[in-house]
Amino acid sequence: MKILITGGAGYIGSFMTKRLLDKNYEAVVFDSLERGHKNAIDKRAKFIQGDLKNLATLEALFYEEQIDAVIHFAGYISVEESAKKPNLYYQNNVKGSENLFSAAVNIGKVDKFIFSSSAAVYGNPIKIPIPEDHPKNPTSPYGKTKLTTEQTLEHFGEQHEISFASLRYFNAAGASIDEKMGENHNPETHIIPLAIKAAFKNQKFSLYGDNYKTRDGTCVRDYIHVVDLVESHILALEKITKDKGEYFYNVGTGNGYSNYEIIDMVKKISGKDFKVQTAQRRKGDAEVLIADPRKIHEDLGFTPKYSDLETIVKTAWEWHRKNSE
C-alpha cells in the first residue's frame, strides 16, 4: 500500500513516515519545507516538494503516483499565531486541505484518509475528561480550521465513497526512544522544548498565565508521546482499510499535567533550576484539556506505552542535548 504523508518533513509527519516504512508500506512525502526539515525525512521515502495551496501541483502528484491512502499532517499549528493571523491559517489549513481532498478524490480516486486534528476543536470543555461527542466550540482560529477541515472531510464522505479517521491530538510531545528524532519546530511554541531550551541556555522561561481556575493556576494538558501517537495512525489506517466509515478519535491518556508540573519535570531531568517569569495569557488557550480515550482503546486497542511525563521529558531532553552540542 502506498501512503501519501503531507507534512512529512515535520515533527509528527517524519515519525509517521519512518513507522510506515518500517511496517513495509510505501511512503511518499509532500511538504513545502516552509516549516519542515528535509533532513528529517526518511531516505527510503519519495519526497515531493510542494504547497497545498497550489491545486495544480497536487493534481499532478495524484496523476503520477498511485496513492492508496493519505495521512494529512500539513498545517500551521500555533494557537497564538492563529489569533494574530487568522486568514493565513484559513488559507493554509482549510483551503489547502480542500485542495488536497479534491485532488486525491477526483484525480487519484483515493478513498482512505487519516486527518491530523486537534483537541482544540472542543474549546473550553464543559466536561472533563472530554469525549468525542462533546460540543465543538473552538476558542482559536487554529481550532476553527481543524473543525472546518473535519467538516470538509465529512462533506467529501457524503459526496464520494471515502473512509476517514480524524484523530484529535492532546499535545504531542517527546522524542524517539533511540534519541535520533525529535521536536524541532520553527517557530517553536510548545512548552516542553521551550522549557528545555531555557534550561540549556540558562534563560528565563515565559509562562503564559498563572491565574487559570486549575489546581496551581496554570493550564492543564493531556500529553501523548509522539511514538505512541504515530502508532494510533497505524491502527486507524488498518481500521478504515478493513471497515469503511467515518471515525473520530481522541488520542490522549486521560491524565493531565499542569504547566508548572511540566516545568518541574524539566528541571528534575535537566538538573537545572532556570527562572520562570509570568507573562500574559495567550489568546485562545483553554484552561483544561484532558482526553477521554476510551473509544480509541475499545475500537482500535490503542494503549500508550511511553506517555508518562517522565519518559516524555527525558526523551525530549536527551534528543535536544545531543542536537544542541
Q: Which helix (H) or strand (E) holds 22?
A: helix 11-22
| Ranges of each domain in the chain | 2-172+224-251, 173-221+254-323
Q: Is the pLDDT of residue 149 over 60?
A: yes
Q: What is the CATH number of domain 2-172+224-251?
A: 3.40.50.720
Q: Is the pLDDT of residue 84 over 70?
A: yes
DSSP letters spanning 117-186: EEGGGS-S-SSSSBPTTS----SSHHHHHHHHHHHHHHHHHHHS--EEEEEEES-EE---TTSS-----S
Cell triple for 315: 526523551
Which pLDDT does position 286 carry in this prediction? Answer: 79
Q: In the predicted model, what is the mean pLDDT of the chain?
A: 96
From edge to edge, which strands make up the β-sheet containing 26-31?
46-49, 26-31, 2-6, 69-72, 112-118, 163-169, 246-251
Q: How far apart are CA 118 and CA 120, in angstroms?
A: 5
Which pLDDT does position 72 carry in this prediction? Answer: 98
Cell triple for 112: 482512505
Residue 278 in contact with residue 214, Cβ under 8 Å? no
Q: What is the mean pLDDT of residues 258-275?
A: 97
Give the gyration radius of the chain's Cα atoms. Answer: 19
Which pLDDT does position 283 carry in this prediction? Answer: 75
Q: Say whether 142 is catalytic.
A: yes
Cell triple for 243: 471497515
Q: The whole model's pTM is what? A: 0.95
Q: Which helix (H) or strand (E) holds 115?
A: strand 112-118
304-324 pLDDT, tens digit per residue, is 999 999 999 999 999 999 887
Strands 257-258 and 220-221: antiparallel
Which pLDDT does position 325 carry in this prediction? Answer: 56
Residue 279 in contact with residue 231, Cβ under 8 Å? no
Q: How far apart are CA 67 and CA 260, in angstroms?
A: 44
Q: Is the pLDDT of residue 248 over 90?
A: yes
Number of residues written out for the chain: 325
Count of Cβ atoms closer than 10 Å to residue 300 Cβ: 18
Which pLDDT does position 184 carry in this prediction? Answer: 84
From 11, 142, 169, 212, active-site residue = 142
Q: What is the mean pLDDT of residues 288-310?
A: 97
State the CATH architecture for 173-221+254-323.
Alpha-Beta Complex (3.90)
